[in-house]
Amino acid sequence: MAGENRDAASVGMSADEQARMVEEQMTDDERFSLLVSVMGVNDVVTVRDERIPEGVPMSAGYVPGAPRLGIPPLLMSDASLGVTNPGYRQGDTATALPSGIALGASFNPELARQSGGMVGREARSRGFNVQLAGGINLARDPRNGRNFEYLSEDPLLSAVLAAESINGIQAEGVISTIKHYSLNCNETNRHWLDAVIDPAAHRESDLLAFEIAIERAQPGSVMTGYNKINGDYAGGNSVLLQGVLKGAWGYPGWVMSDWGGTPGWEAALKGLDQESGLQLDIMMWQKEWFTAPLRQAYAEGNVPKERLSDMVRRILRSMFAIGVDRWGSAPEVDLAKHNEVALETARQGIVLLRNDGALPLATGTTARIAVIGGHAQIGVPTGCGSSAVLPPGGFAEVIKVGGPGIMGVGRNLYLLPSPPLAELRKLLPGAEIEFDPGMNPAESALMAARCDIAVVLAIKLDSEGFDDPDLSLPWGQDAVIEAVAAANPNTIVVLETGNPVVMPWRDRVRAIVEAWYPGQAGGQAIAEILTGAVNPSGRLPVTFPADLAQTPRPDLPGLGTPWGTPVTIEYAEGAEVGYRWFAQQHQQPLYAFGHGLSYTTFDYSNLHVEGGDTITATFTVTNTGQRVGADVPQFYLTSAAGEERLRLLGFQRVELQPGQSRQVTITADRRLLARFDGPDGITGSWRMAEGTYQVAVGKSAHDPVLTADMPMRGS
């Protein structure tokens, strides 16, 4: 039969037909064995789980295959920022990419594709055939501890980048998930969190991101979130799983729970196809659902045979469609090339927020430069949690941080071995560069005062399992920056954060750079941007608020309550996430979504728009400055049939020589011009009101340069 299965593929049987044919041959034992994954360790510490055969690498999830039928085992590994299995990684290293939010800031789908390909190749070379990647939750709250893993606050930008990253992974014959479906937008007490939202607004925001990404990439699996949505746990939410995902969108792949996020065997009747990491369900809920309880329910006639077959076929279908049953030899892994992908992502993701001419630092400078703080003599930080990747050569340092609850044990500040201090010394050989740890504002000020220029690196640790309490920099770093800026008028700040921060010192420093968590080559990228070896081109994928009072939830429900406290967060902003909210409230943020400076200048001209079913804009971008650079012109809807409504309709990254022009054409996805109309969020449709639609081409969500009106028919 193993041979028969391969023959089926070679005679052109579809993945669905193949799945049906193979599933029909299976015993019930084989069927049930596909529905549960086992973590590499059985006590979340070190002991190898005895259900995992010798020789199988430790990973986040193992599902035995059925060799007699040509079904290989599934080996699941985290995640989007590189191949990693924290807790079970046994020294295995992989290329550590910059954070997802840095990729978001590149606005570059091609780069997403390359980083996906890199992750896919490294996963496959280690034998992992499911990559738990594709994190796409919208950054609704600037305190969310996992925003660094995700891409942006905008559904289109997130969908386009996630789709390319998934396409890159799956092109290597590795299944990718997309996660965490849906509205897993805060970490505070995430297992007890009820995320409440208007269903139509959900369709126009987080669900639209999933919808577009799934259309563009057909990920083999969808991972649910830990939270409830409108009262029902994501893992057993029939409205979202049966109604929207499998019903309205016709999704053919399988739905897996998050680790410890299976709400009960009944979830199988509501759309969940596989329980993940069964040991974590036992730890969380003192119960595991998809082995004995599901079998018992089946034996008692409470789970129809058709549903069992459907669960199994969905898994098989993705395996056959993506080809994990047809692996030949492992692809070649060129770590030097992969380092280039990490470096290029960091370069394109770094955002120059403010510059009054202090940057770039002249490469021939003989100035005395104080480099202060951020552990810049050691490396660059990375976000913490299941996405943290152990880079080649290991971490430069692991500083234990800790915290309450079960996530506190693994809360560490990981430093990747790319120290900005050494990289700056390389690129500025004539400068006299000194280092101060930024431990004490007065001490830092002493060094800053005797130098010509001060570069402060400020870091903030974000982690899965924790939301930030506020938007300030931790460890007294705001005070350090204030003291340094008071001592030296040429102060430059480099932020290495996973989220927006407030900047009480903003007007007292000459330049601000947001480098996010820039990955294993991050120090080099920071030095290249500061010295102009690379012209900054990143654009903010999230709005930087002036303070929390500007955001939809100045007080975050549940923040600070003990682990296990039930929390309800009403996402009352609905679809008006991020920049959309700021436009609706007529608020001016600290830095707008889409904002990012360059060492050259760009001009837009000749906007021409065409209507019909949707709107297409054509315009010209010109590099009007003296340096080669890349721009990201953005196309927005600003009002629809008399209603003020801000929506990113499209974007394009354009690289231009000085004086060079390029014509850009962007066609809007009609769903971004429309509203979702329907009471239950499932049965409705996208409707456009008749009237004049106003659009703009701009440099950010709040900086339109060219505008046009377009009359549209209602539909």
**Which residues does 596 contact at the CB level (< 8 Å), separation at least 6?**
105, 351, 352, 353, 536, 537, 538, 539, 540, 632, 700
Residue 226 CB, nearest approach to ligand BGC (Å): 7
Member of 258, 273, 275, 496 binding ligand BGC (CB under 6 A):
258
Structure tokens at 203: 């369709």
Task: Identify the residue whose tokens are 């902003």.
Answer: 573
Check residue 60 for interaction with ligand BGC (CB under 6 A): yes
Binding flag, residue 386, ligand BGC (CB under 6 A): yes
Using CB under 6 A as the binding rule, whether residue 170 contacts ligand BGC is answered as no
Q: Using CB under 6 A as the criterion, what x/- string covers residues 420-449 for binding ligand BGC?
A: ------------------------------
Contacting ligand BGC (CB under 6 A), which of 23, 30, 78, 573? 78
Q: How many residues bind ligand BGC (CB under 6 A)?
A: 8
Nearer to ligand BGC, 77 or 491 (CB): 77
| 211 in contact with ligand BGC (CB under 6 A) | no
CB of 626 to ligand BGC, least distance (A): 45
258 is known as an active-site residue: yes
- Three-state DSSP class for 69? helix
Identified binder of ligand BGC from the candidate list 15, 132, 540, 712, rule CB under 6 A: 132
Residue 191 CB, shortest distance to ligand BGC, in Å, is: 10
Q: Of 78 and 631, which CB lies nearer to ligand BGC in the complex structure?
A: 78
Report the alpha-carbon distance of residue 27 to residue 312 in Å, rounded.
11
Cis, bond preceding 37 (omega within 30 deg of 0): no
Helical residues (DSSP H) of 254-411, grouped into ranges = 278-285, 292-299, 305-322, 335-349
Q: What is the dihedral of CA 95, 119, 121, 77, to 10 degrees?
A: 100
> Which residue of 38, 79, 359, 455 would you call a contact of ligand BGC, by CB under 6 A?
79
The least distance separating ligand BGC from the CB of residue 599, rounded to whole angstroms, comes to 37
DSSP reduced 3-state for 595: coil
259: contact with ligand BGC by CB under 6 A: yes
Would you say the C-alpha torsion 647, 651, 657, 663 has a positive or negative sign?
negative
Q: Toward ligand BGC, which CB reaches closer, 35 or 384?
A: 384
Complex with ligand BGC: residue 100 or 349, whichever CB lies closer: 100
Residues 387 and 223: beta-carbon distance below 8 Å: no
Residues 275-334 that bind ligand BGC (CB under 6 A): none
**Do residues 186 and 467 lie in contact, with contact meaning Cβ atoms separated by under 8 Å?**
yes
- For the bound state, the minimum distance from the C-beta of residue 87 to ligand BGC, rounded and expressed in Å, comes to 8
Q: Among the options 258, 273, 325, 436, which is catalytic?
A: 258
Distance CA 562, CA 556 (A): 14
User: 433 by DSSP, 3-state: which?
Assistant: strand
For ligand BGC, give the closer residue by CB, 151 or 656. Answer: 151
- What minimum distance in Å lies between the beta carbon of 77 and ligand BGC? 8
Task: Give me the least distance between CB of 243 and ligand BGC, in Å please.
Answer: 24
254 touches ligand BGC by CB under 6 A: no
The residues, any chain, with a CB within 8 Å of residue 586's CB and separated by 6 or more, are: none
Distance (Å, whole) CA 222 – CA 585: 34
**Tell me, what amino acid is at 640?**
A
Q: Where are the beta strands (DSSP E) in 161-305?
A: 175-181, 193-196, 221-224, 228-229, 232-233, 254-256
> What mask, x for binding ligand BGC by CB under 6 A, covers residues 88 to 127?
----------------------------------------
Residues near ligand BGC (CB under 6 A): 60, 78-79, 132, 179, 258-259, 386
- Enumerate the active-site residues: 258
